[in-house]
Structure 1
Amino acid sequence: MTSVVVYSDYVCPFCLLAEKVVSRATAGRNIGLNWRAFELRPAPVPTLKPEDPYLPSIWARSVYPLAKQLGVPIELPSISPQPRTAKAFELLAMAQDQGRDHAYSLRVLQAFFQEDRNIGDPQVLVGLAADVGIDAEAARLALKDGTYRARHREALRHAKEDMGIRSVPTIVVGDQIFRGTPPMAQLEAALDQFEAAAGPKQSHPLISIGE
């Protein structure tokens, strides 16, 4: 099965909104969704605080209007400062091995943006992994032992150095790259081309969409 690749950070609300667009556009097609890691603010870079002006401003200006348009319930989480996502992405590697990366990523995004849960807490992450069929004890031990830590570092290197990712969501559809939450029509057109393509891949043109 061919796949759309979504580079995301679980503290980015546009990643939850993009998931809705991509899921709708790929429904009924023989196309899977693969999720990849990109930390917007890896340690030791400070994470954002919801009480500071920046987050409420961008949510009012961009997040809430798009969420209303797409019919996605979403709220600015209260956790301050925002959690780091390295451990959540370690379990993403585990989910990838089980073909559960889409289900896991969606569950983590829902937990943060719809349930106001701290996705930096290992105990919370183990529960979310279990929600999508990942063995809870195996997930707990993986986080405790750092089983996927090196793989996560390599995933970040790949995103930054090999793919040139600078913002999320970044969505790769065959030979096209969308930065931001793409309009449905543009994404469907790219998916049509993706399905019809028979030749070798060409270089990636970058399509910048909104925020």
Structure 2
Amino acid sequence: MKVEIWSDIVCPWCAIGKHRFEKALAQFAHREEVEVSWHSFELDPSAPREREGDLAEHLAGKYGVSREQADGMHRQMTETAASDGWDFHFERARGGNTFDAHRLLHLAAERGVQDTLKERLFRGYLEEGERIGDPETLVRLAADAGLDADEARAVLASDRYADDVRADERQAQAYGITGVPFFVVDRKYGVSGAQPPDAILHVLDTAWADAHPLQMLTPGGGDGAEGCVDGSCTI
């Protein structure tokens, strides 16, 4: 079974959705046969490499609310995230462009550490105040996740994986994805948002049953042996 997840590094609901998905996957009977891949989605492709001002100020301006209301939204989100294993610190967050981070995630996929890097980037941005658009910061975080620092630096100095990021974004458009996180299971089932683990588990079970329907076999080619049906038996 394949699970593809579209998300952005600067999306707190994407981080929450990652941990909720992991909780669901841990309960899934066929978890060892699930292949998970992360796909690129930029919430703000026009963002500068590093945005001026703090995140609450940006949030207030974007949604036309007061600074106090923006701070309240962050407090509520922080409380929600805590139950899913996150320690958000929006007062530290330094917003910026995530295109290069997504390029490194494609490199990480080839090196078998994509999920590890995704987690490290989320923690770097949402918990530690790392500059998510700064190349040297990204190289350091990539090395933390197990990538070779020189290779990561070389990728960022080139245009490698740029086409892969754009291909992900075109696929998101084709699916009609307008918000993240967004989960696609076996290219057939779509799940939008950071759903509770039980809801995600239900989708995984449904997709598995659909891909592995029960086949009735009658040994010897007969019509079947005697049995009990609907409370009555052939005796």
Q: Same fold (TM over 0.5)?
A: yes
Q: Distance in 1 between matches of 2:133 and 2:106?
A: 16
Aligned partners of 2:42 and 2:102: how far apart in 1? 9
Q: What is the rounded CA distance, in whole Å, between the counterparts of 1:60 and 1:132 in structure 2?
A: 29
- Tell me the equivalent position of 2:163: 150
What does residue 185 of structure 2 align with?
173
Larger radius of gyration, structure 1 or 2? Answer: 2
Does 1:15 find its partner at 2:20?
no
Aligned counterparts of 2:91 and 2:97: Cα–Cα separation in 1 = 14
Aligned partner of 2:200 in structure 1 is 187
* Closer, same or farther: CA 188–78 of 1 in aligned 2, 3 Å: same
Amino acid at match of 1:58: M
Amino acid of the residue matched to residue 79 of structure 2?
P
Contact 2:104 2:142 in 1 (8 A): yes
| 8 A contact 1:76–1:113 mirrored in 2 | yes
Deviations 1:163-183 (A, max 9, x none): 221111111233321211001
Q: How does 1:13-92 map to 2 (within 5 A)?
A: 13-27=12-26, 29-30=31-32, 31-43=34-46, 49-52=54-57, 53=60, 54=63, 55-61=70-76, 63-80=77-94, 82-92=95-105
**Cα-to-partner distance string for 1:51-71 (whole Å, 9 max, x where unaligned):** 32255343234x223213324
> How far off its partner does 1:97 sit?
1.6
Cα deviation, 1:114-159, whole Å, max 9, x if unaligned, reads 1111111111111111122211111101110121222222222222
Letter aligned with residue 74 of structure 1: F
Query: Any conservation in 1 of the 2:13–2:180 contact (CA below 8 Å)?
Result: yes
Conservation of the 8 A alpha-carbon contact between 1:75 and 1:114: yes
Range with greater deviation from structure 2 (21-30 or 102-111): 21-30
> Residues 71 and 155 of structure 1: is their aligned pair in 2 closer, same or farther, counting only changes over 3 Å?
closer
Specify the code of the residue in structure 2 equivalent to 1:60: R
**RMSD, aligned CA:** 2.4
| 1:137 counterpart = 2:122 | no
Partner of 2:110: 97
Task: Give the distance between the partners of 1:68 and 1:79, measured in 2 at CA.
Answer: 17
Query: Would you say the 8 A contact 2:93–2:127 is kept in 1?
Result: no
| Alignment match, 2:226 | none
Shift of 1:77: 4.7
**TM-fit CA distance, 1:106:** 1.1
Q: CA contact under 8 A between 1:77 and 1:112: conserved in structure 2?
A: no
Q: 1:77 to 1:163 in 2, by over 3 A?
A: farther
Runs of 4+ in 1 over 4 A off after TM superposition: 44-49
* 1:6 maps to amino acid: I
